[in-house]
Structure 1
């Protein structure tokens, strides 16, 4: 069989998944951080923390889990640890810096469409238990989709297929891109920029929606992770708010949070932060992907999507996660109601062996009873905690019980997504556990 077929089929293992939007000017040169308190002033053994973290990260770099990474931890609303390690690539030229911008991959799901959805629930424009077809009209006439609720979709309980590889539609058998979908120069029909010298047809999103409409739905209602609806959410947000998806979340969340680096397509923005490279793409873009979204589906929608495409720094992610941990408030500004955030961050279908919240990931059921190698995330993470991971090697987690925000950023897909040692070595869980143990046993 054709080699390309195997390559594209292999993409089925990708945990990464779009929506057109117009770029907006963002002030992302200015980084306004959360307050910082040294570990020692918190009564924590900083020597223990630094030695443990250094050991785990160094082992990861040594075993090619990633060329570099950074860890940010906030306790009681103040940053107590933010360190960078290694380099952007294995050539050891550009060292990782704390203000570097990363492709956040599926962390986009809880940092992009989800805050907007929560606000729309607050405003009475969305109801979790109404059929999603009430708002997304094309599903009204689709028998296996017309009755599924937004709650089921957000908890990955609706039976939707995990993903569709839309790249199969635009690549010929010989590996070349079909000109009716992707061009190397823009014109009035091809305005969505997917990469340097790659422009996607403006209405390609409609083809994606049609393919999603035709996708099968499992009759067995159980946990199955799916990113399909997150491709639809940006257009839905646009329809319900009258603003573009990117503008809405920027004006209502990122700018009030002073999280100025959070945004899409940073290659097109006027900013000075270094952007960490992701993968050397051998299939679609045939070069290093940097400053453009790694996820192929998001790329085919011009880089602005609900499943992936968001970029940002650890500091700005920490602000968003701190707001979530505070149940909707940061620096005296209420973004989302406490009731809504508590609803979204609680486990929805525990009796169905589904650990998920609404959009948010949660610890494994009975996670505290597991050892580190079996647990997700660290066994010490409380049942109230929540977060999300990203395919490129990103991870964010908030724990209201312990007042602990944990952010881990890496580019584990460099130079290839075949690098899976980040998972095999359980680096994120091990790092998270260091802080739980240190914070629970303060220095005497």
Structure 2
């Protein structure tokens, strides 16, 4: 393949976006992106790096379009932002309504959308924002449908596959519902609300849903869909949003690197940019600190990613406490309050076809930027995904760089071979999760393990029961029976519960010093199993 050229356009981008002097990492960044273009991982990109109030790197690389005509990438290229919509449109709109007292994080979604799951759901606004609702990744797209109202109806009726707060499932449905909450509470659609309250105050003039045809020459095209002759251009790539007419809380936004820089500067300014205050500092801090359940290894802010399987664009040096997001089309944004740095990498990696995800490219770019940003390493955590929460702040997982695995992860890496063909009982609670955030039960069932019974300790299978007499139940997602080992004076499994089992697995990962009964539960279960 012919080596793609690197373009650097000089343009005026308004106050506060002046390009600073030479950035020591620029040559490395140029080489990384040029190599990605040479390997056909992306057709082109715009990279913008801000540091301590100045733009230190801003370049356009490669091509904006490969077909039907080849056209060079320019700094003012408008990109289909994909899931950056979640944090640039939907989340700040919820932040506005939150500050106005119109929405509360711990309210059930049914407070605002009464038809949601027949009005009987315990899913909260917080669950939607952190992706711990238990809802599926997306609504069904087959048979094909159309219309905003149809999309909302499908989202309202979707059935969760896990109890709320117990499992991280990255779900577009969460943000479809959040976009509808914005519409219900404000009286205007999400696109109009975000335009009035977010984009106009920040002078984000090239950020919008459903861009007009007049802007099409500046828009980076995406995929050529089956049966089509031309790529999508100015029409959202995400099929669900496309079916909904182009506006939804999870995708549909179009934007430029310079507009995202204005947004990032506002976030680093704790809600203020160039004298315009959009949010109070406490609100920005609230939404950009860990808000996922304390028992979970995945760190999510409200809307924002912090440390999860999806946060590869954090790289390996930006500290835990920084935050960002990615988009399927090749877009990404990462913001680090500690060093006052942000990285915006916009690429149309799905043009003219969908390529493998550019996770490694994003991570390499972020690491190079962080290495040049003067992060001292003091008072920050630099280790990656699978940090835990202590007192509302992340702590270093000892031995994380040595790749320490829990017993569950050891079994998972081995395909659960010791349990192959065995009827298995599982003693666990909400702490039993794999490194990638799956419940132990789900991981075992997916690997073909015959889990026929669950056993719950004090506080129940979900860790929420505060009673000395917890009854038996069934797992909502799988129907596997749950036998309580904390029923009044009965703290041991009955022989009938264990009969027919070939193996008994104990996986309670958060024993600590708080609940001594967890250790007693293990002892009692082993004793009863030995009697059979």
Shorter-chain TM-score tier: 0.7 to 0.9
TM-fit CA distance, 1:351: 2.5
Match in the other structure for 2:143: 169
For the 8 Å contact 2:307–2:320, the answer to whether it is kept is: yes
1:11 maps to what in 2?
none
- Note the alpha carbon deviations across 1:132-179, whole angstroms, 9 max, x for none: 111111127343xx221111111011111111232x222xxxxxxxxx
Aligned equivalents of 2:262, 2:285: Cα separation in 1: 18
2:47 is paired with a residue whose SS is: strand
Aligned length: 361
Matches within 5 A, 1:202-351: 204-220=147-163, 221-268=166-213, 270-271=214-215, 274-282=218-226, 287-349=230-292, 350-351=294-295
- Contact 2:48 2:58 (8 Å CA) reproduced: yes
Match of 1:105 among 75, 82, 93: 82
- SS for the counterpart of 2:71 is coil
Closer, same or farther: CA 100–34 of 1 in aligned 2, 3 Å: farther
Report the equivalent of 1:141.
118
Question: Post-superposition shift, 1:286?
Answer: 5.6
Using CA pairs under 8 Å that are at least 6 residues apart, name the structure with larger relative contact order, 1 or 2. Answer: 1
Contact kept? 2:313, 2:366, Cα under 8 Å: no
- Tell me, what secondary structure is at the counterpart of 2:55? strand
Q: C-alpha separation between the residues in 2 aligned to 1:375 and 1:260?
A: 29
User: Could you tell me how far apart the structure 1 residues matched to 2:79 and 2:215 are?
Assistant: 13
Match of 1:406 among 336, 343, 350: 343
Task: Find the residue that maps to 1:379 and give its secondary structure.
Answer: coil
In structure 2, the partner of 1:392 is 329
Equivalent position of 1:118 in the other structure: 95
Contact 1:363–1:376, Cα closer than 8 Å, also in 2: no
Gaps of 5+ in 2: 1-11, 377-532
Distance in 2 (alpha carbons) for counterparts of 1:342 and 1:57: 33
CA pair 286-297 structure 1, distance change in 2 beyond 3 A: farther
Is 246-255 or 401-410 further displaced after alignment?
Answer: 246-255
CA distance in 2 between partners of 1:344 and 1:387 (Å) = 12
Question: Is 2:131 the partner of 1:156?
Answer: yes
How far 1:251 sits from its partner (Å)?
1.3
1:24 equivalent in structure 2? none
1:434 counterpart = 2:333? no
TM-superposed CA distance for 1:227, in Å, is 0.9
Q: Distance in 1 between matches of 2:159 and 2:117?
A: 15
Task: State the Cα distance separating 1:379 from its structure 2 match.
Answer: 1.5
CA distance in 2, matches of 1:431, 1:232: 33
Between the aligned partners of 1:39 and 1:233, the Cα distance in structure 2 is: 41
Aligned in 2, Cα 1:214/1:238: closer, same or farther, shift over 3 Å? closer
Structure 1 unmatched runs, 5+: 1-29, 171-180, 182-199, 368-373
Change (3 A) 1:375 1:252: closer
The 5-angstrom pairing of residues 66-85 of structure 1 reads 66-85=42-61
Q: Is the 8 A contact 1:104 1:312 kept in 2?
A: yes
Whole-Å separation in 1 of the counterparts to 2:91 and 2:291: 16
Q: Give the strand-richer structure, 1 or 2.
A: 2
RMSD of aligned Cα (Å): 2.4
Q: Rg: which structure is higher?
A: 2
Residue by residue, what CA displacement relative to the aligned partner does 1:80-112 show, whole Å, maximum 9, x if unpaired? 110010012346831100011000000011011
Paired position in structure 1 for 2:530 = none
Distance in 1 (CA, whole Å) between partners of 2:15 and 2:329 is 24
1:64, 1:421 within 8 Å by CA — same for their partners in 2?
no
Helix, strand or coil at the partner of 1:352: coil
1:357 and 2:319 correspond: no
Cα shift at 1:313? 0.6
Shift, 1:241, TM fit: 1.4
Say if 2:37 is the partner of 1:61: yes
- After TM superposition, give the deviation of residue 70 of structure 1 in Å: 1.2
Distance 1:31 1:106 in 2: 25
Distance in 1 between residues matched to 2:77 and 2:57, nearest whole Å: 16
Contact 1:363–1:381 under 8 Å retained in 2? no
Aligned CA distance change for structure 1 residues 148 and 99 (closer, same or farther; 3 Å): same
Contact 1:60 1:421 in 2 (8 A): no
**Alpha-carbon separation, structure 1, partners of 2:197 and 2:212:** 23
Give the Cα–Cα distance (whole angstroms) in 2 for the partners of residues 286 and 300 of structure 1: 20
Could you state the TM-score of these two structures normalised by the residue count of structure 1?
0.76
TM-superposition CA deviations, 1:277-318 (whole Å, max 9, x none): 1111116x5631011111111111111111111001100011
